[in-house]
Amino acid sequence: MVSKRDDEESLLPTSAKLTVPQKRHAAQSGQSSFQFKVYVITSMTILWTGYTLLVRHTRSTTSKENMYSATSVVCLAETIKFFIAFLLLSHDHNHNMNEVIITVKRDFINKPMDLLKMSVPSITYALQNNLDFVALSNLSAGVYQVTTQLKVVTTALFMMAFLGRKFSKTRWVAIFMLFAGVAAVQLNNIDQNSAAGRPTENPVIGLVAVLATCVTAGFAGVYFEMMLKDGTPTSLWIRNMQMYFCGILSTFVGVAVKDGAQIQEKGFFYGYNAEVWAIVLSLSVGGIYISLVMKYLDNLHKSFASSISIILVVLLSVMLFENVTLGLFFVFGSVIVCGAVVLYNSVPE
């Protein structure tokens, strides 16, 4: 990916040489860029870990009579993300509302075809978020977190198909290492399910939901990256607003169809407590960080970065949830997955 700084430097004559201060400034800029990327990935990892544990906790400990609507959480998060994107757009324009209004009118309101294009990933992401709830209701948090790393494979395939990306043998080895790690974790899951015998969980439904999540995540992520890097000057926050606006509409339909009767009887915010609001917040802010990762890195870095939270999820699950143990297969699988992350990032593009 070509950065703005690279674009500016490419305009200089080839004979031009950087002075010592310029070289120092360039090095500092590169360091700042690296620090920013680390910050974005770390923030996304923390948010996703918290989201995973909170959803798992609330879905497994709340009684059916007092259960909140999962679709309402997703719809509310999409709405909050839309307003966050608007505030960040305003920040980019130094809160000059005249410039903000002009930009919104030019790039958001007057471009219905762009809005239609962005409806594709928004609808897919909304579906993925709802599938997450199904998966987390039927799988342990650690197993869910590791199994979802299969999305790196679907992402790689979609990147080859849509973006024309090619991957080195080393990176394909890393992907197959990921398969081995996930398989080891699944073996551990089978042992634990047999021992625990939880009647309220269905590992088959959970696994199907995870696989569907991996496909939708890979497709939506690559499609969104393709739109972010389409060569047009459209702001990242405008793209986000387009996607979140479509997401609000699609998730509202989901709320009406799936939980309409419950909401009409008990209210939209029935069952909401501090933990549920924390889920909404982590899902909202996490979505913004995901778009930053895809803008300044790419989808595969996003997919691999999410696997960093595996260790956190596993360790915290042992402390927070009953019948969750650090079996040998789980530890072995987690180490392989983390090794795949290191191997993948050890070679240049």
DSSP letter for each residue of 177-226:
HHHHHHHHHHHHHHHHHHHH--TT--HHHHHHHHHHHHHHHHHHHHHHHH
Number of domains in the chain: 1
CA distances from 285 to 48, 165, 347 (A): 10, 29, 31
Residue 62 lies in a domain: no
Residue 19 lies in a domain: no
Indicate if the pLDDT at residue 313 is higher than 90: no
Residue 22 lies in a domain: no
pLDDT given for residue 239 in this prediction: 92
Residue-wise pLDDT for 128-149, tens only, equals 877 888 888 888 776 776 777 7
Residue 227 lies in a domain: yes
pLDDT given for residue 140 in this prediction: 76
More confident residue, 206 or 15: 206
Q: Running DSSP on this structure, what letter comes out for residue 323?
A: T
- Report the percentage of the chain scoring pLDDT > 90: 29
Residue 34 lies in a domain: no
> pLDDT band for position 32 (50/70/90)?
low
pLDDT given for residue 256 in this prediction: 92
In the predicted model, what is the mean pLDDT of residues 102-108? 95
Helix (H, G, I), strand (E, B) or coil at 337: helix
Q: In this structure, how many other beta carbons lie within 10 angstroms of the beta carbon of residue 295?
A: 17
pLDDT given for residue 103 in this prediction: 95
Residue-wise pLDDT for 7-18, tens only, equals 333 333 333 444
Range of the domain at 119: 47-56+67-196+204-344
Listed residue (125, 76, 88) closest to 299, CA to CA: 125
Residue 36 lies in a domain: no
Is there a contact between 193 and 122 (Cβ–Cβ < 8 Å)?
A: no
In the predicted model, what is the mean pLDDT of residues 84-93? 95
Indicate if the pLDDT at residue 251 is higher than 50: yes
> pLDDT band for position 189 (50/70/90)?
low
Residue-wise pLDDT for 60-86, tens only, equals 888 888 899 999 999 999 999 999 999
